[in-house]
Amino acid sequence: MARAATSNPLPPPQRLIGYARVSTDDQLNDAQVDELRAAGCHRIHQEHGSGASRARPILTKLLRELVAGDALVVVRLDRLARSVSHLLDVIEDLEKRGVHFRSLRDPIDTATPQGMFSLQVLGAVAQLERALIAERTKAGIAAAKARGRLAGNPGLRERRPEAVRAISAA
């Protein structure tokens, strides 16, 4: 008796797309690239630029190119973003588009409930840390004012060119 062929299409294989970033031009991405390859990433985008800056052209292009079923993989969370708000914005956008996110050294893989929970806990902890930093900064400024000191960057107050350039670059 002949068996009828069943049409159970297999889901397309998940593409693991790596992103490696170092802060300065004299640093190398080699260790990150090796870890991403070992994790199964076939395409790895590399960038030099500060994590504090959201103006990273390679990351921006990569994020636009990811499609549903893909997974963006980084070695550590700080390679993708320095601020939790930026990290959560990126991951929220990826999730809306059906793209997963995985950090190899952090317990985060948005394809799993545990990974999503870990991400939410990290987000809450980071939000608390930001609030504590703001509180300490305000207390420090108040203490300096009480001692008659001016708050802020002395180089900017004195209009020193190197201080203005440093702030502009940041």
**Which residues are known to be catalytic?**
23
DSSP 117-166: HHHHHHHHHHHHHHHHHHHHHHHHHHHHHHTTPPPS-HHHHTT-HHHHHH
In this structure, is the dihedral angle defined by the CA atoms of residues 150, 156, 158 and 163, taken in order, positive or negative?
A: positive
Identify the CA nearest to 62 among candidates 124, 29, 16.
Answer: 16
